[in-house]
Amino acid sequence: MSNNLSTGTLSEPRVATPTVNTATAFAILFTVVGLGVGVYAMIAGHHHVYACTREVPWGILISTYAFFAITSTGLCLLAAIGHLFGGTPLMHLGNRAVYLSIATILAAFSVIGLELESPWRMLIYNVISPNLTSNIWWMGTLYGMAVGAMFIEFFAIVTRQWNLALAVGIMGALAEVGANTNLGAVFATLSARPFWYGAQLPVFFLCSSFASGAAAIILFTHLAYKMRGTDFDERTFRGLQSAGKVLALTLFLLVVATAWRFIVIFTGNNEMAMIAANHLLKGKMATNFWLFEVAIGMVFPLLLLIGTQMKNVPAMSIAGAMTLVGGFIQRYDLVVAGQQVPVYYGWDDLPSYLGYIPSIGELLVVMGGIGVCLTLFLIGERVFGKVFKPAEHH
């Protein structure tokens, strides 16, 4: 551990410009208002504030949790790859990726904690009454282990204990992979929901995590340098190019996986799955799917990355932002479309379509989760700015 560790060796006062301070204040305001609404929902009753029902129990808060959790996994894996294989340019983005992985998983926990009616019961019974056959139990346990490992890893990075950071970082990455694939399995093992059921989603979620993680590290690194008003050094630029290549590759794989998912659904002759798929392809959610999920989330950023050959950082940053927007909508589409065909479909005199529109309360809680992520990012750049400089170690 370094004996010269101090605020001066970690922080970057020049980041605290009036513009950044104003942005931080707004991010904190979003956090307080959004999470405050979630606390109010726990007191007044979720059924008064949220639009979820017994028939459609999972809404935008579940999809938002999945979005942040999947992004955290991607950031953690990219950091582990950069630190483990020190010769790769990704190592120069590793420290910031670890911190952002913590920020995004805390945003995920904030949203899911306010979505659950009694989150404290989860914490208690997760320990005293574990269910080893439950994907949700494994997901929560492994994400808990992962966030603990990431906190230790970041502490080790700050205190320059590189061997400890590497060892704990690998453990955290493995826990994240397990948690991420179990999150996919929460959907994939529900045979009553044919749109979700199957072996693809756990792997699809893992591929999505690399895309979201690469997009996030590109976007937030670009914002960090804009906040400082400095140009990119050569090592950071090469790191961003590597992240751009990861993003381009995973976007291509996601396009292929998405196409094959719908091909399998329509050749599988399961009526409920086909109806749910049609809701996305030509139904009420078609704009979400074709414009945001496919065009903005996959095709446009892929073409932008290929067209610029990963040589233009602002273009890569725009591609990253589009990928994150598309990824957010993709999680929402997946969660909602899978529930729009009721499990009692085909019975006479019962609804054959279940609609869902997020309530204002739910949207404010989503805003609170985004606020948590942005607040931690902005404060982190101020407090740990020098830790994020291109690494000379590993």
CA distances from 189 to 38, 40, 97, 314 (A): 29, 33, 31, 40
Question: What kind and span of H or E run contains 346?
Answer: none
Cβ atoms of 150 and 101 closer than 8 Å: yes
Sequence letter at residue 205: F
The 8-class DSSP code of residue 352 comes to S
Q: Which of 180, 7, 162 is nearest to 91 (CA)?
A: 162
Q: What is the pLDDT of residues 104-147, one digit of tens each?
A: 999 999 999 999 888 888 888 888 999 999 999 999 899 999 99
Tokens linked to 39: 């606390």
Domain 7-388 of CATH type 1.20.1630.10 = yes
Cβ atoms of 267 and 261 closer than 8 Å: no
- pLDDT given for residue 237 in this prediction: 93
- List the beta strands (DSSP E) in 150-294: none
- pLDDT given for residue 2 in this prediction: 45
- pLDDT given for residue 40 in this prediction: 95
DSSP string, 113-151: HHHSS-HHHHHHHHHHS--TT-HHHHHHHHHHHHHHHHH
Please identify every stretch of the chain with a pLDDT value under 50, giving residue numbers as ranges.
1-3, 392-394
CA distances from 152 to 13, 23, 66, 109 (A): 25, 29, 23, 18
Longest CA pairwise span in the chain (Å): 74
- pLDDT given for residue 349 in this prediction: 80
The tokens 């790859």 sit on which residue?
Answer: 81
- pLDDT given for residue 3 in this prediction: 47
- pLDDT given for residue 394 in this prediction: 46
Task: Report, in angstroms and rounded to the nearest whole number, the Rg of the chain calculated over CA atoms.
Answer: 21
- pLDDT given for residue 6 in this prediction: 55
Burial of residue 311 (number of CB atoms within 10 Å: 0-12, 13-18, 19+): exposed
Cβ atoms of 180 and 209 closer than 8 Å: yes
Cβ atoms of 74 and 213 closer than 8 Å: yes
The 8-class DSSP code of residue 262 comes to H
CB count within 10 Å of CB 267 equals 9
CB count within 10 Å of CB 94 equals 30
DSSP string, 326-383: HHHHHHHHHHHHHHHS-TTTT-TTS-S-------HHHHHHHHHHHHHHHHHHHHHHHH
Tokens linked to 330: 């993709």
